[in-house]
């Protein structure tokens, strides 16, 4: 992979010289900004939702006995939040980390992972408070990052930008720890949300019973 990126860097460096250099640079960085913006759009549209997984697998347990249905519901819930959720979270976390690596020149891998994990975790936590707040957070930080990146003198060097892709393997050494943190935090927030709903329902039932209680 390193050899391929090295050859690509040399090719881009040579191609950018001459009359067509400006046009190539313009097209290349237009594509970079568009791809990044599209990612951020889907990042906040998807990750800022409170119910990030809407498969509703428990419906496949309907039509059977109550005991078996509860067992199926439990298994499907575990599948959604202990298997599917980590996969989905890893995808967004990994892509975000790669984009930050490419855009933020000179930043070491551990700092990039920390920023990516903190952003993903913050977006997920705020989604339980307000989805609007979560969407704003998921948009603001990534767009601020690219705004800072494009103002740096060396950003519009296509060969230099491509060369940073060679650093991608260094990102994945400590990913499991950050991923575990995000998933555990998600499960804690979901459990707290469930407890909150139970308490609200209990108060509502108690209030209704008090209203209809004969004097």
pLDDT above 70 (res 88): yes
What pLDDT score does 122 carry? 92
Question: Does position 28 have pLDDT exceeding 70, yes or no?
Answer: yes
Of residues 212 and 48, more confidence is placed in 48
For residue range 182-199, list pLDDT tens digits in order.
888 988 888 888 888 888
Residue 118 domain boundaries:
2-212
Residue 126: the pLDDT is 92
Share the mean pLDDT of the chain: 77
Q: What is the DSSP string of the chain?
A: -HHHHHHHHHHHHHHTSSTTHHHHHHHHHHHHHHHHHHHHHHHHHHHTSSS-----GGGGGTTS-HHHHHHHHHHHHHIIIIIIHHHHHHHHHHHHHHHHHHHSTT--HHHHHHHHHHHHHHHHHHHTT-HHHHHHHHHHHHHHHHHHHTTSTTTT-HHHHHHGGGGGGGGGGSHHHHHHHHHHHHHHHHHHHHHHHHHHHHHHHHHHHHHHS--
Dig out the tokens for 165 from the structure: 């892709």
Q: Is a pLDDT exceeding 70 seen at residue 124?
A: yes
Task: Of 40, 52, 73, give the one whose Cα is nearest residue 182.
Answer: 52
pTM for this one?
0.73
Q: What is the model's pLDDT at position 64?
A: 54
pLDDT by residue (tens digit) across 132-152? 999 999 888 888 888 888 887
The pLDDT value given to residue 191: 86
User: Structurally, how many domains does the chain consist of?
Assistant: 1
Of 94, 121, 97, nearest to 109 (Cα)? 97
């Amino acid at each position: 992979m390193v050899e391929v990126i090295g050859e690509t860097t040399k090719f881009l460096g040579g191609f950018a010289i001459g009359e067509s250099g400006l046009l190539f640079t313009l097209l290349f960085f237009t594509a970079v900004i568009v791809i990044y913006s599209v990612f951020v759009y889907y990042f906040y549209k998807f990750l800022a939702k409170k119910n990030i997984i809407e498969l509703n697998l428990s419906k496949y347990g309907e039509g059977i006995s109550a005991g078996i249905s509860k067992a199926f519901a439990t298994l499907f819930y575990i599948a959604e939040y202990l298997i599917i959720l980590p996969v989905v979270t890893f995808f967004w976390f990994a892509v975000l980390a790669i984009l930050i690596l490419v855009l933020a020149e000179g930043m070491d891998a551990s700092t990039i992972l920390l920023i990516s994990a903190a952003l993903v975790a913050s977006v997920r936590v705020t989604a339980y408070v307000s989805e609007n707040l979560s969407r704003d957070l998921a948009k603001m930080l990534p767009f601020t990052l690219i705004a800072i990146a494009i103002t740096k003198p060396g950003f519009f060097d296509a060969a230099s930008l491509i060369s940073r892709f060679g650093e991608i393997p260094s990102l994945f050494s400590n990913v499991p720890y950050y991923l575990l943190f995000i998933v555990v935090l998600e499960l804690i927030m979901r459990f707290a949300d469930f407890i909150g709903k139970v308490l609200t329902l209990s108060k509502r039932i108690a209030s209704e019973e008090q209203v209809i209680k004969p004097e």
